[in-house]
Structure 1
Amino acid sequence: MNETDVLVIGGGTGGYSTALRAAALGLDVVLAERDKVGGTCLHRGCIPSKAMLHAAELVDGIVEARERWGVKATLEAVDWSALIATRDDIVARNHRGVTGRLAHAAVEVVHGSAELTGPRTARVTGHGEVVARRGIVLATGSRPRMLPGLTADGRRVVTSDDALFAPELPRSVLVLGGGAIGVEYASFHRSMGAHVTLVEAADRLLPLEDVDVSRHLTRGLKRRGIDVLTGARLSDVAVLDDGVRATVRTARAETRTVRAERLLVAVGRSPVTDGLGLAAAGLVADDRGHVAPADWARLETSVPGIHVVGDLLPPPSPGLAHASFAEGLAVAETLAGLRSPAVDYAAVPRVTYSSPQTAAVGPTEAQARDAGHDVVVNTLPLTAVAKGMVHGQGGMVKVVSERGGRVLGVHLVGPHVSEMIAESQLIIGWDAEPADVAHHVHAHPTLSEAVGEAFLTLAGRGLHQQS
């Protein structure tokens, strides 16, 4: 048998962050990964998709330059092979960085599948039995979920994974699912010139976000020419030689036929537990495949010494890479015997990298009211500040605060708001009140000035917005 202090099963963001922090604290660590270190985020999710969305932003910039600013620029074509080569180079460089960092930290990376054989033991393909003296960390991630009755063929019916590695761009695409992944892929394909239909079963896009976020996002996507159908359901799909023919039941109980070269199914992700051997360790997944911790502060399951991070966790963990980093740090420090603060999920930012972007931290207005808070709300359009007019994409800042108390939530829609949310994360995490934020001076002219202006108004000191 091979012995170690900590066995981490899964080398995605949650797994490798656990391994790195545990090794830095002097623990012996074995990291078992059956694919590539870096996981979904690095190879099939966050990094490659955001690289592609950056390319889409450049394309949009050429259109804006011509149509809005009088710059006589034209887009000759998009060289798909060159685009994906640049994307893959970014992924490869990140992958080398992560593997090099693990090697430097003396983490033993084992390539193979791991199956639990007990509460402190696991069998790793090609490596034999591993005994973890301090504990095992489950970080096996997730995969795209497919609707019953649909089968992804990688060509006409695809998942987000398939769309990344498609050999060419489609001229038309039907995106099923109006969450962050569906919205981002709808936005990307529209920038690349495709006709896009976006179908969401809920009554609005990003149904977990604030209703005003959904409204402004939908307005922005429709302005770009995306056909958005909310409260709509796919009732039938026929796969043809040249694409798909889908029947959609709309919110008005009307039937629409949508033809597209590609159907992209983006209806969520499911935890990966196949072959993990949960039962042998005394664990049971819930009906959605998550493994819930018995102690959320320690992210420790009902079996002492077995911890969970990343997409394997149920809500309130949001299944986001940056939350996984925080979970990995917390678990590693717990296994090293340190008192690590629990992950504050209320202060974890949520971002959708479409055009327009959305970013939020804290509860929505409805959630705050449902929790019993007496709230005051201020909404400021980004066009209320000069830089918002320069960008000309609309958007807003919405602040939800306790009456006479702390800020509860901040919600943003507009260009580059993914880079603006960090300030609001600190505001929420440090229990600041509007007057605390209003005291600080924001640079002018900037988009972040709109955040400062929104808080000035709530503090009764508004300049460009009436209190």
Structure 2
Amino acid sequence: MTTDVIVIGGGTGGYSTALRAAALGLDVVLAERDKIGGTCLHRGCVPSKAMLHAAELVDGIAEARERWGVKSTLDSVDWPALVATRDDIVARNHRGVESHLAHAGVRVVRGSARLTGPRGVYVEGAGELTARRGIVLATGSRPRTLPGLTPDGRTVVTSDDALFAPGLPASVLVLGGGAIGVEYASFHRSMGAAVTLVEAADRLVPLEDADVGRHLTRGLKKRGIRVLTGARLDDASVAAGSVRAVVRPARGESRTVEAERLLVAVGRAPVTEGLDLAAAGLTTDERGHVVPADWTRLETAVPGIHVVGDLLPPPSLGLAHASFAEGLLVAETLAGVASQPVDYATVPRVTYSSPQTAAVGLTEEEARNRGHEVRVNTMPLTAVAKGMVHGRGGVVKVVAERDGRVLGVHLVGPHVSEMIAESQLIVGWDAEPSDVARHIHPHPTLSEAVGETFLTLAGRGLHQQ
């Protein structure tokens, strides 16, 4: 079979490429060996955020009782009912994506695919395919594990199967303090588990601003989560449905942590096994990523072969919304339509825990290391009325050039994932604090704290002097 474009992998990067390419009039074949939607839809973003919403409802019952005088109690969590709602959300999204692909005229072939040359792909069950315009690699990633720890889906789990492990454990040890680990630690704590969160770096979410990590740690500890940073796993043993682990901090003596479940969240690795990159003249870097020769087109060293999603190394972020943008770029490139390269500096980064974090642009440390003379302003969310209403702390931090544009915006607190889009535009359009200060934020809202932070930087401080 000959077609214009062959996409290998039906996750967010793959199906967005296919949909956009088809909309531009190209004949598209999408090869997927599992389910359309990939990790994000079936094992990651969507189901985990559904579970975190349920966790937020549980937390709200406690807040209503303890803070607002609403005499509410939590009888129990009906785990099968919670899972059924989550799975219904996933299933409806899955049907929606498949319907979009069918309506767009994308031919979906089921089976494992491998490259046979610069324009050739073999799909099990479908045979040899040839691409006139190009091939798009979108095979995604899998959870990394640690030596000596074999996930069993029950006692030792990865982020891919943590949602599907049976029941709710009474105690959880989470290895990895990035976004995934923090979210799972937050979820299990809301559901009543004793949680220990271990991160090897000196702070949680170590790729984010240091103040973000500090405020996040404070919020998690306030909820009763035991946070150990600068700590590593020395040893772990599994017996009788529980885990016994030895954790070594950067300073002090090792400590033993016992838990019913061990969740390994130490990052993800690109999936290229069975793809036979060599047949097309491609190789990977030392971490298994397929590196573009041209980042403006996400095209590899082999002309006509492009790559999107988790196969990409930094500065790509391994985030679903970045994959959508990468898919649009590649589809438009293959169709000969002018398209802007992905600006990774303006891609929002969000952790959906309680408290949440959201950021866009440079951290203060990154800005200084790049030679910028910066001015920084921070404002606690509790300095505005709506922040007091929520009563969960949090902060707004803005990093700007001394006499120029905004370089980064960093948020910690309730619902900040819904507040970051404004800051994406601020950073992406090279706005200065005075530009933002001209615009009025509604009162009372949490977003008002963002506006107040920029007012102060612009020399027009109202509630913050």
Structure 1 residue 384, shift from structure 2 partner: 0.6
Alignment map for 1:232-381 (pairs within 5 Å): 232-381=231-380
Q: Is 1:200 matched with 2:210?
A: no
Q: Distance in 1 between the 2:258 and 2:318 partners? A: 32
Identity of aligned residues (%): 82
Number of aligned residue pairs: 465
Determine whether 1:117 maps to 2:116: yes
Return the alpha-carbon distance in structure 2 between the equivalents of residues 38 and 153 of structure 1: 24
Query: Match for residue 226 of structure 2?
Result: 227
Instruction: Give 1:256 deviation, angstroms.
Output: 0.4
Report the equivalent of 2:105.
106
Counterpart of 2:26?
Answer: 27
| RMSD of aligned residue pairs (Cα, Å) | 0.5
Superposed counterparts of 1:421-440, under 5 Å: 421-440=420-439
TM-score (norm 1): 0.99
| Aligned twin of 1:83 | 82
| 2:170 corresponding residue in structure 1 | 171
C-alpha distance in 2 between matches for 1:40 and 1:126: 23
Question: Where does structure 1 lack aligned partners over 5 or more consecutive residues?
Answer: none
The structure 1 segments of at least 4 consecutive aligned residues displaced by more than 2 Å after TM superposition are none
Gaps in structure 2 of 5+ consecutive residues: none
- Secondary structure in 2 matching 1:161: coil
The answer as to whether partners of 2:154 and 2:166 remain within 8 angstroms in 1 is no
Give CA-to-partner distance per residue, 1:137-195, whole Å, 9 cap, x none.
Answer: 00000011001121111111110112111120100000000000000000000000000
Cα deviation code 1:112-152 (max 9, x no counterpart) = 11100000001001000000000000000001100112111
Name the SS of the counterpart of 2:50 in structure 1: helix
Structure 1 residue aligned with 2:35: 36
Once the 2 structures are TM-superposed, how far is the Cα of residue 230 of structure 1 from its aligned partner? 0.2
> What SS is found at the alignment partner of 2:422?
helix
Partner of 1:465: 464
Give the C-alpha shift of residue 253 in structure 1. Answer: 3.1
Distance 2:346 2:252 in 1: 39
Amino acid at match of 1:430: W
Match of 2:180 in 1: 181
- Rounded to whole Å, the distance in 2 between the matches of 1:404 and 1:248 is 46
Helix, strand or coil at the partner of 2:128 = strand
TM-fit CA distance, 1:242: 3.0
The 5 Å alignment of 1:375-454 reads: 375-454=374-453
Structure 1 position 198, deviation (Å): 0.3
Counterpart of 1:57? 56
> How far is 1:350 from its partner?
0.1
In 2, Cα distance between equivalents of 1:87 and 1:269: 23
Cα distance between partner residues in 1 of 2:454 and 2:238: 52
Shift of residue 251, structure 1, vs aligned partner:
2.5
Deviation at 1:404, TM superposition (A): 1.2
Deviations 1:31-56 (A, max 9, x none): 00000000000000000000000000
Compute the TM-score of the two structures, normalised by the length of structure 2: 1.00
Give 1:102 deviation, angstroms: 0.2
Deviations 1:47-101 (A, max 9, x none): 0000000000000000000000000000000011000100000000000000000
- Offset, 1:446: 0.1
